[in-house]
């Protein structure tokens, strides 16, 4: 394996945009026409900076730079970039809602080397750790074989309306988890690196929260009501 996973950063966006364009025009070519792909790039296939800000988007870094990406979301949107979004993407409730799997793209020169599967595995561990027990996604026909191979089931096949008269066929897929999170000891080194970065981020957020809590209402000093 000559690539490794890490969390995406805002500075990756230009490289991610280029990767998405390359991946769509190459790996989706057997499934969608040139016109469909051209109309979907932007509204459907794009970077969602909210996932990067949430720490739920991964990149695979290979010899030549970013060679894969994909993530999950604790927010309502199923697909699309953030550019046309008006307002906040609402948070999901892990106890009642299904987490989302979002925006997987592999560089055509790096396809079928396990990058998509490794990113999905890192997402599933993070989804379980966040308390979700179900995942839902809208998959492209190009993505369907990956998700089927990872235990996702087809729920519905429908045509997504694009700009103009174009439509594209997509598949709503779901997975229900019955197992607790896997031990990181069984994961590949790249996935471990991504997960420990995630744990570091959570620890930093907790430390910030504690600082804030202590400065506004020290623990144990709240008067009884």
Ligand X SMILES: CC(C)(COP(=O)(O)OP(=O)(O)OC[C@H]1O[C@@H](n2cnc3c(N)ncnc32)[C@H](O)[C@@H]1OP(=O)(O)O)[C@@H](O)C(=O)NCCC(=O)NCCS
Q: Which of 121, 104, 93 is nearest to 181 (CA)?
A: 121
In the complex, least distance from residue 147 CB atom to ligand X, rounded to whole angstroms: 7
Q: Residue 43 Cβ, how far from ligand X at the closest point, in Å?
A: 14
∠ CA 48-49-50 to the nearest 5 degrees?
90
Answer yes or no: are the C-beta atoms of 168 and 109 closer than 8 Å.
Answer: no
The region of 84-92, 127-135, 137-145, 152-160 touching ligand X under the rule CB under 6 A is 137-145
Furthest C-alpha separation in the chain: 67
Q: Which of 28, 36, 50, 73 binds ligand X (CB under 6 A)?
A: 28
Query: Three-class SS string for 4-26?
Result: EEEECCHHHHHHHHHHHHHHHHH
As measured in angstroms, the least distance from the Cβ of 45 to ligand X is 7
Axis-axis angle for helices 189-216, 115-129 (nearest 10): 30
Q: Give yes or no for residue 163 binding ligand X (CB under 6 A).
A: no
Residue 37 binds to ligand X (criterion: CB under 6 A): no
Count how many Cα atoms sit within 13 Å of the Cα of residue 63 in the half-sphere of its side chain: 4
Taking CB under 6 A as the rule, does residue 146 contact ligand X? yes
Stretch that binds ligand X, among 3-11, 140-148, 156-164, 186-194 (CB under 6 A): 140-148
Residue 115 as a binder of ligand X (CB under 6 A): the answer is yes
Residues that bind ligand X (CB under 6 A): 23-24, 27-28, 68, 104-106, 111-117, 139-140, 142-143, 145-146, 149
């Amino acid at each position: 394996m000559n690539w490794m996973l890490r969390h995406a950063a805002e500075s990756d966006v230009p490289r991610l945009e280029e990767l998405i364009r390359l991946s769509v025009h190459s790996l989706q070519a057997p499934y969608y026409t040139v016109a469909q792909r051209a109309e979907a790039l932007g509204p459907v296939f794009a970077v969602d900076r909210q996932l990067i800000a949430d720490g739920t988007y991964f990149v695979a870094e290979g010899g030549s730079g970013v060679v894969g990406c994909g993530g999950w979301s604790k927010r309502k949107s199923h697909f699309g970039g953030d550019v046309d979004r008006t307002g906040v993407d609402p948070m999901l409730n892990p106890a009642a809602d299904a987490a989302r799997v979002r925006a997987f793209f592999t560089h055509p020169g790096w396809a079928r080397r396990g990058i998509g599967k490794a990113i999905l595995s890192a997402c599933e561990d993070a989804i379980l750790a966040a308390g979700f027990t179900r995942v839902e996604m809208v998959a492209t026909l190009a993505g369907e074989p990956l998700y089927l191979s990872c235990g996702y089931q087809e729920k519905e096949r429908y045509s997504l309306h694009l700009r103009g008269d174009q439509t594209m066929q997509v598949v709503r897929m779901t997975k229900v988890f019955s197992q607790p999170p896997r031990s990181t000891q069984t994961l590949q080194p790249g996935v471990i690196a991504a997960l420990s970065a995630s744990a570091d981020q959570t620890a930093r957020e907790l430390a910030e929260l504690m600082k804030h809590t202590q400065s506004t209402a020290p623990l144990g000093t709240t008067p009884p009501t």
